[in-house]
Amino acid sequence: MSGFTRDTKHYGDKLVYEALGTKWRRYHDGHCGCGLNWVTEHAEPAGFTVVRAGSGWVALTGPGLTEGVDESALTANALWEAVTGKPGEGWVETVRVMDRSEAAEKKRKAENDAAYADRRERAAQSKKDPATPAQLKYLSTLVARAGRERFDTAFNKAVKGTGVAPRGAEEKTQAALGRLTKVAARKLITALVGP
């Protein structure tokens, strides 16, 4: 998500604007259409500075965006004008503040650890009692017949409460089947065999 951010760990005491690449590329394509990189060809020449970049986003600072602005009425107008060549709409945005206090960091770490432990437990569970080769073979034929949508619905219903995670958005069918426990596989077969 794009937005104004304060995060002492990553930006010190600076206010930054984190711009989502897909979104700003779309704005640029729709209004300017020069086909060049909106960051290096428009934002930087207009005086904005990239202070950090990740996969698919950049954090920017600069005049009119994060500098010399009224922090109670922030807008991305200055960047919009630089990137699209048109005046902005003036939507006022709030600042997202990342709490970097020791307590907040501890809480974040605990949440991450818990999620990780949960994933490991699920993986271990399906290793302990995996679906049999016969189940998987039968499922492959059922899946081909059912179609993607019906399979996904049945899969997620079958794994509920079994410790097996729902199907991932990008997960291949065979990979999803490979995670099934014997119990979940049996439920899925029952669901797909029916009309």
Stretch that binds Zn ion, among 33-41, 66-74, 142-150, 159-167 (CB under 5 A): 33-41
Check binding of 193 to Zn ion (CB under 5 A): no
- Give the shortest CB-21-to-Zn ion separation in angstroms: 14
Which residues are CB-contacts of 22 (< 8 A; sequence separation ≥ 6)? 56
Determine how β-strand 95-97 pairs with β-strand 49-54. Answer: unpaired
> With respect to Zn ion, which residue has the nearer C-beta, 32 or 95?
32
Stretch that binds Zn ion, among 27-35, 58-66, 113-121, 137-145 (CB under 5 A): 27-35
- Give the shortest CB-63-to-Zn ion separation in angstroms: 20
**Rounded Cα–Cα distance for residues 104 and 110 (Å):** 10
Burial (CB count <10 Å: 0-12, 13-18, 19+), residue 92? exposed
3-state SS, one letter per residue, for 147-184? CHHHHHHHHHHHHCCCCCCCCCCCCCHHHHHHCCEHHH
> With respect to Zn ion, which residue has the nearer C-beta, 4 or 38?
38
List 8, 29, 31, 34, residue binding Zn ion (CB under 5 A):
34
- Give the shortest CB-62-to-Zn ion separation in angstroms: 17
How many C-beta atoms lie closer than 10 Å to residue 108's C-beta?
13
- Give the shortest CB-35-to-Zn ion separation in angstroms: 7
Sign of the torsion angle spanned by Cα atoms 45, 4, 53, 169 = negative
Q: Number of residues in contact with Zn ion, rule: CB under 5 A?
A: 2
Three-state secondary-structure class, residue 94: coil
**Rounded Cα–Cα distance for residues 156 and 163 (Å):** 11
Could you tell me the two tokens for 155? 């899969």
List 20, 32, 50, 136, residue binding Zn ion (CB under 5 A):
32
Stretch that binds Zn ion, among 26-34, 48-56, 74-82, 149-157 (CB under 5 A): 26-34
> With respect to Zn ion, which residue has the nearer C-beta, 32 or 46?
32
> With respect to Zn ion, which residue has the nearer C-beta, 54 or 85?
85
> Which residues are near Zn ion by CB under 5 A?
32, 34
